[in-house]
A and B are shown apart, each in its own frame.
Chain A
Amino acid sequence: MSGSAAHVTPEAIQQVARALVRYGEAETAVVHTADAGVQQVADEVADEVKARQLKVRHADEALQACRREEDRDCSGLVQDLNKAEQALDQARQASTIVARAAAAFQMKRSKHMMTVQGLVDGGRARLRMNATDLAAYLGASSAGGVDFGTAGMGASPASAASGLAVPPGVPDGFALVPLSAIDPGDNPVTGPADFGKGYTAEDLAWGIEALHSVVLPALAIGKGADYFADRDAREGRFGTRSYSDTHSGFFNHDAVRLESSGDGRFTVGNGRHRIWVAQQRGDSVIIAKVS
């Protein structure tokens, strides 16, 4: 790094913070627009399935009526029924495509909202600290008069002490740590062959996905271990691919543990397998107990 902080003002830092707030608000609107788009198509497809079911029924009734009459040629009605059934099949295929696309998007949407919320709120808190420090350095009264926005994407507080993003509802000491800030060190985990403790890389990838799509959103609204146990029972989940194991694995004694080096970097105390899997997934952050 070169240059000096003397070239920047608290107001300049405030602009970046405002851009983060704007971005957070815009992303909330983006997600709502996408949700509305999915719902619109789902409704249209559902209406089409109903309409085509009705056409099949009418075509079938017409054919049955025809067949009750002696010596009548019903071949045209048979064709009509076949066409109506094919059209219904297509609408049902469309319905399946929409349902699958919506389910896949739902998981990515949850992860996006959670990650963006944490990073926006954390970034804003960090910038506020920087502006305060700079204002003091410049001899200004304080950066207290600088508006850093309060809208954000939710109620997630960030850890002002560490400057890391803290998702709402997680236990004390946990934060979202950028994978790019974690020193690889001499990581013995270099591939799937290095997984031998009762779980596979795929199991951990499942757990990370469940963490983002189910566990963190549930913690954000005040749910706990009982909720995860109940959901596991209802969905027939157990062991490594359960929400209970995911919750306890990430937040109890086996949590990912990172130590701050004091220069914005972190060394790994525990969780090298999960960090490796998160990197392979292309994740940007991992939840960890930070000291």
Chain B
Amino acid sequence: MSAVRNALDAHNIAAADRQRQEREMASAWRDAASHVVEVRFLEPLSLQDREFAAALAELDQQLSRAINLIR
């Protein structure tokens, strides 16, 4: 497995860990304050997670293509 693929897996694990805590927060804490945290910080982080996962996947694909050319 390539280092970039490892990075992508680690990124997905970190994002899932954070999202699990967010779900727990959502089940125990539903008020205006939690809404602000969700809207301002957690939702933008989820969007950024997806964008970065796509960037890592694209990088891994391109590096694999390069490796295949020299092997």
Contacts and interface: CB of A to CB of B under 8 A. Distances in A.
A27 B52 CA distance: 10
A126 B30 contact: no
B33 A38 contact: no
Dominant SS among interface residues on chain A: helix
Range of interface residues on B (Cβ < 8 Å)? 35 or more
A259 B44 CA distance: 19
A180 B48 CA distance: 13
Nearest to A175: B40
Contacts, number: 195
Given A38-B4, A91-B69, A3 B31 contact: yes
A269 to B, nearest CB: 19
Interface residues of A, number: 69
Contact of A108 (B29, B45, B51): B51
Contacts of A97: 62-63, 65-66, 69
Contact of A122 (B3, B30, B40, B52): B40
A192 to B, nearest CB: 22
Interface in B38-54: 39-45, 47-48, 51-52
Given A40-B3, A264-B39, A5 B59 contact: no
Interface stretch (A69-77, A98-106, A141-149, A224-232): A98-106
24 contacts: A3-B31, A12-B28, A19-B17, A19-B20, A19-B22, A20-B18, A23-B15, A30-B10, A34-B3, A37-B6, A41-B66, A45-B70, A100-B62, A105-B59, A120-B45, A123-B41, A123-B42, A126-B37, A126-B41, A165-B40, A177-B40, A178-B41, A178-B44, A181-B39
Interface of B: 2-4, 6-7, 10-11, 13-15, 17-18, 20-22, 24-25, 28-37, 39-45, 47-48, 51-52, 55-56, 58-59, 62-63, 65-67, 69-70
